[in-house]
């Protein structure tokens, strides 16, 4: 029998305001829909809001002791009218399965209430269908999204054997193989509790999306299976808010109920992609994964961090799901690599590369809009193939090593390297931070001989006019930067040229004055700023606008007269 989020020996053991959201920021709100951008997107789109309609999905459930694994489609008002297929026969109602279903495709609680066709699996039977160690192929997944709110392992934690470990490894490989073969979006859970280990099944998979909670109370860190199956990879890959989520009146949130929210968000994207032929390549599982991760927000997590060799945060992954950002990345459209064309401030691509190729995407950060919150994610699948001798009884794993690099650019020529994501253990690369105005290029490269399909997704977010140091608020430190450079020929936002005219002067002061005290709630400063800025970050004092000039004991007109005239003469060579 399988149990939900537990480890016991057995044959198989399992276990806001709309403005803020529209800008992509996330304050700590009291409702998961607001927290994750759904409320803002629904307000913007109205009747055009995607619902996941016509997207077939599956739900894999750990059975109760009684064997029940089915959602309540008879008496639960959120689920009545859905079209269920009980893949392992109807076996009674599970409260856990019902709550998962409510947040997956329920009529009012989910992000995808239009989902109407659902295949439900008993997790034990699902694992049997993967046929670990068998000569035959795993069963086919006909759904577009599969939600797995359970965990497990074949390994006895007291007396582990190599045979048990091998079975976990082959089960994971068969799961990744089905995603590779059938091209569905698999969404899986880590365990509850921050002190728990990353589960083997299915959270240690490559090709799925592994989910945790925004409160951080989940297993996180590095996978620990044997080296040949990729130990040391960061999990989870994305988290979600649990504000307002309940199970039968129990206020304790569980990872189980965030997984279906991410699954529903994937179904929304797939519905939009299916309705527009120009977005058809977004239906690939790699593309959906890249868009979901690139759209995730970090501003809720002051400790969020990444490095060139560790693309995700070890607790929060790429950040918190944000369906507003996801939708706008998707609908910005596919934009391909090119040596002669520029891509937009948001978009995605599904493409192929190999060791003999680099794919380059040139883009601009206009001087008039200054800093951007820049997020880009590269994803690809690991590839599983039958062993040449043992056949399907032993799937062999191969993983391309793709790198993602960000350069300054001039025209269509690369300049200095700005940042990179070059980890060698995982199938995700991620760059995130703030860009100064200028021209840039993203480069996707491979050291793997064979051709590799990949997905790339990116987004930019503008900051406030007058926010020189990009801390999300126009305040004294921004004023200090402008003051120190007043009258000086400057062409960058970080030193006070908010107007983009190449000089720090009265117009820039007016922009700062008009926006003084304004803020983007939840927008944290980024360190380091990339693109060459030496602007400081951080803000501790926020006086009223009337106090701005009193900080120096000066009036604006006198200050301008004092500094402006000589600076103009110097700039004009007089």
DSSP letters for 373-423: EEEEEEE---EEEEETTTEEEEEEEE---EEEEEEEEETTEEEEEEEEE--
pLDDT value for 29:
35
CATH class of 347-462: mainly beta
Range name among 354-368, 444-458, 540-554 with the lowest pLDDT average: 540-554
What's the rounded mean pLDDT across residues 415-429?
95
What would the pLDDT profile of 331-357 be if each residue is shown by its tens digit? 999 999 999 999 999 999 999 999 888
Do 450 and 400 touch, CB atoms closer than 8 A?
yes
Sign (positive or negative) of CA dihedral 20, 26, 29, 34: positive
Considering only residues 3 and 344, tell me which one the structure prediction assigns the higher pLDDT. Answer: 344
Residue 548 has pLDDT above 80, yes or no: no
pLDDT value for 559:
34
What span, in angstroms and rounded, lies between the C-alpha atoms of 424 and 403?
A: 9
Domain spans, the chain: 13-321, 347-462, 476-571
Three-state SS at 133: coil
pLDDT value for 245:
87
Confidence of residue 227 (pLDDT cuts 50, 70, 90): low
Nearest to 321 by CA among 200, 236, 428: 236
Considering only residues 426 and 531, tell me which one the structure prediction assigns the higher pLDDT. Answer: 426
Q: Where are the alpha helices (DSSP H) in 82-204?
A: 95-105, 123-130, 162-182
Range name among 327-341, 401-415, 543-557 with the lowest pLDDT average: 543-557
What span, in angstroms and rounded, lies between the C-alpha atoms of 212 and 486?
A: 48
pLDDT value for 463:
73
In the 3-class helix/strand/coil scheme, how is 183-232 assigned residue by residue? CCEEEEECCECCCCCCCCECCCCCCCEEEEECCCCECCEECCCCHHHCCC
Three-state SS at 166: helix
Considering only residues 391 and 519, tell me which one the structure prediction assigns the higher pLDDT. Answer: 391
In this structure, what token pair is assigned to residue 384?
């599983």
> Tokens 């004009």 appear where?
572
Helices 323-331 + 259-274 axis angle, to 10:
20
Residue 26 has pLDDT above 50, yes or no: no
Considering only residues 311 and 499, tell me which one the structure prediction assigns the higher pLDDT. Answer: 311
In the 3-class helix/strand/coil scheme, how is 500-536 assigned residue by residue? CCCECCHHHHHHHHHHCCCECCCCCCCCCEECCCCCC
What would the pLDDT profile of 238-295 be if each residue is shown by its tens digit? 999 999 887 655 656 799 999 999 999 999 999 999 999 999 999 999 999 999 999 9
What's the rounded mean pLDDT across residues 434-460?
92
pLDDT value for 547:
32
Residue 397 has pLDDT above 50, yes or no: yes
What would the pLDDT profile of 151-188 be if each residue is shown by its tens digit? 999 999 899 999 999 999 999 999 999 999 999 999 99
Percentage with pLDDT > 90 across the chain: 66
**pTM of the predicted model as reported, rounded to 2 decimal places:** 0.81
What span, in angstroms and rounded, lies between the C-alpha atoms of 170 and 146?
A: 19
What would the pLDDT profile of 99-156 be if each residue is shown by its tens digit? 999 999 999 999 999 999 999 999 999 999 999 888 999 999 999 999 999 999 999 9
In this structure, what token pair is assigned to residue 391?
């056949």
Confidence of residue 401 (pLDDT cuts 50, 70, 90): very high
> Tokens 């058809």 appear where?
280
What's the rounded mean pLDDT across residues 175-202?
96
What would the pLDDT profile of 101-110 be if each residue is shown by its tens digit? 999 999 999 9
pLDDT value for 111:
98
CATH class of 13-321: alpha beta
pLDDT value for 13:
31
Residue 523 has pLDDT above 90, yes or no: no
pLDDT value for 16:
22
Residue 189 has pLDDT above 80, yes or no: yes
pLDDT value for 372:
65
């Amino acid at each position: 029998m399988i149990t939900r989020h537990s480890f016991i020996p057995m044959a198989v053991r399992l276990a806001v305001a709309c403005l803020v959201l529209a800008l992509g920021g996330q304050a700590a709100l009291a409702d998961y829909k607001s927290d994750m951008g759904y409320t803002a997107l629904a307000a913007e789109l109205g009747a055009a809001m995607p619902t996941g309609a016509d997207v077939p999905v599956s739900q894999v459930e750990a059975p109760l002791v009684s064997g029940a694994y089915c959602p309540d489609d008879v008496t639960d008002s959120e689920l009545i009218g859905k079209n269920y297929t009980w893949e392992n026969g109807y076996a009674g109602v599970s409260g856990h399965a019902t709550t998962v279903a409510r947040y997956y495709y329920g009529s009012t609680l989910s992000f995808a209430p239009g989902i109407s066709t659902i295949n439900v699996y008993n997790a034990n039977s699902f694992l049997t269908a993967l046929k670990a160690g068998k000569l035959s192929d795993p069963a086919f997944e006909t759904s577009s999204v599969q939600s797995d709110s359970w965990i497990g392992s074949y390994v006895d934690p007291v007396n582990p054997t190599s045979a048990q470990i091998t079975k976990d490894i082959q089960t994971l490989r068969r799961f990744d193989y089905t995603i590779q073969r059938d091209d569905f979006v698999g969404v899986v859970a880590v365990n509850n509790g921050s002190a728990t280990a990353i589960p083997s099944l299915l959270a240690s998979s490559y090709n799925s999306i592994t989910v945790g909670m925004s409160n951080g109370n989940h297993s996180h860190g590095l996978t620990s299976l044997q080296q040949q199956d990729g130990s040391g990879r960061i999990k989870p890959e994305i988290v979600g808010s649990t504000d307002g989520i309940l199970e039968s009146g129990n206020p304790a949130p569980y990872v189980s109920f965030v997984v279906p929210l991410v699954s529903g968000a994937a179904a929304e994207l797939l519905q939009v992609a299916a309705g527009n032929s120009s977005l058809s390549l977004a239906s690939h599982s790699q593309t959906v994964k890249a868009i979901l991760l690139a759209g995730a927000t970090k501003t809720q997590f002051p400790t969020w961090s990444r490095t060139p060799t560790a693309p995700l945060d070890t607790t929060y992954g790429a950040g918190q799901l944000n369906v507003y950002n996801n939708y706008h990345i998707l609908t910005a459209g596919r934009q391909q690599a090119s040596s002669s064309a520029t891509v937009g401030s948001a978009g995605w691509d599904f493409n192929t590369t190999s060791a003999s190729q680099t794919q380059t995407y040139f883009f601009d950060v206009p001087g008039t809009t200054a800093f951007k919150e820049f997020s880009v994610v590269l994803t690809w699948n690991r590839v599983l193939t039958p062993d040449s001798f043992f056949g399907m009884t032993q799937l062999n794993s191969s993983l391309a090593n793709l790198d993602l690099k960000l350069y300054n650019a001039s025209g269509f020529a690369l300049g200095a390297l700005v940042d990179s994501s070059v980890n060698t253990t995982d199938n995700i690369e991620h760059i995130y931070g703030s860009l100064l105005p200028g021209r840039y290029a993203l480069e996707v490269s491979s050291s793997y001989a064979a051709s590799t399909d990949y997905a790339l997704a990116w987004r930019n977010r503008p900051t406030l006019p007058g926010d020189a140091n990009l801390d999300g608020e126009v305040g004294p430190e921004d004023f200090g930067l402008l003051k120190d450079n007043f009258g000086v020929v400057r062409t960058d936002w970080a030193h006070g040229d908010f107007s983009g005219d190449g000089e720090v002067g009265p117009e820039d002061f007016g922009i700062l004055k008009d926006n003084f005290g304004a803020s983007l709630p939840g927008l944290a400063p980024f360190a380091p700023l990339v693109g060459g800025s030496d602007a400081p970050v951080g803000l501790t004092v926020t006086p009223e606008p009337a106090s701005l000039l009193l900080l120096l004991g000066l009036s604006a007109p006198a200050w301008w007269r004092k500094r402006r005239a000589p600076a103009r003469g110097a700039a004009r060579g007089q």
